[in-house]
Amino acid sequence: MDKEIYKKLEKQIGYKFKNKNILNQALTHSSFSSKNNNERLEFLGDRVLGLIIAKNMYLKYPKEAEGDLAKRHTSLVCKDALLKISDKLNLSYYTQYNTKNKSKFQTNHAIFADTIEALLGAIYLDSNLKNCEKFILKFWDLEEFATPQMDAKSTLQEWAQSKKYGLPKYTLTAQEGTEHSPIFHIQVSINNFDPIKGSGLNKKEAEKNAAENFLNKYCEK
């Protein structure tokens, strides 16, 4: 990747890499390189992000119970939150991926959310947790949620139980795509209602999407 592109991104994130190779790896999707890609850095960055967000939630809300802290934490580390950051940084421009399927990857925004985690992993290996925290505090709005957010699955479960419909049932109906970029289709069923479908890059995301679709159709009118 061109050095000027590196400089532009480093200026945006507020961190200059000593090892440019690890930055290059963080910006490389597995569709571009099967060996020197960002999957392992993504794994590391996910843990770094979780720890730093947890620490800041713990200090910022000293009177909140563990369950409420967990809800805030989930809202700040989920794919939707990461996508907001990736959009701010225009990571679709910096990320290297298979251009033969360019339109597919541009619509599959989750790979750019993964790049955010890989960047965090790279910053950690290139320096320390302190610089990772600086990056996170620069781009994550820790006060975005005035009250702890409940995820769609929990909201749907509480609604169903309050109406005495029983627990929602999630069923995998189909899986397509490649090993590195799968798409899961799941439907959620509740007594007395037609099943509602959802999709995602993993089962958890697909279940969440199905729950959101159910809530939008039946519960939020």
User: Are the CB atoms for 40 and 34 separated by under 8 Å?
Assistant: no
Question: What whole-number distance in Å separates Cα of residue 66 and Cα of residue 120?
Answer: 25
- Quote the percentage of the chain above a pLDDT of 70: 91
Residues 1-31 have pLDDT tens digits of 677 888 999 999 999 999 999 999 999 998 8
Catalytic sites, residue numbers: 46, 117
Residue 115 has pLDDT above 90, yes or no: yes
User: Are the CB atoms for 82 and 111 separated by under 8 Å?
Assistant: no
pLDDT for residue 148: 64
18-23 own/partner pairs: CB under 8 Å, 24+ apart: 18/126, 18/127, 19/125, 19/126, 22/122, 22/125, 22/126, 23/119, 23/122, 23/126
> What would the CATH number be for the domain defined by 152-219?
3.30.160.20
Q: Report the predicted TM-score, pTM, of the whole model to 2 decimal places.
A: 0.69
Which stretch of DSSP H or E encloses residue 106?
helix 102-107
Instruction: Report residue 101's pLDDT band, with 50, 70 and 90 as the boundaries.
Output: low
List of residues 6+ apart from 10 with CB closer than 8 A: 16, 17, 23
Please tell me the CATH superfamily of domain 3-139, with its number.
Ribonuclease III domain (1.10.1520.10)
Measure CA of the first residue to CA of the last residue in the chain; give whole Å: 49
Cβ-count burial 40-75 (b if 16+ within 10 Å, e if not):
ebbebbbebbeebbbebbeeeeeeeeeebbebbbbb
Residue 105 has pLDDT above 70, yes or no: no
Break the chain into its structural domains and give their ranges: 3-139, 152-219
By the 10 Å C-beta count (0-12 exposed, 13-18 middle, 19+ buried), 162 is classed as: exposed
Residues 158-207 have pLDDT tens digits of 888 888 888 999 999 999 888 777 899 999 999 989 999 999 888 988 99
The reply to whether domains 3-139 and 152-219 share a CATH topology is: no
User: Are the CB atoms for 188 and 207 separated by under 8 Å?
Assistant: yes
Residues 86-96 have pLDDT tens digits of 999 999 899 98
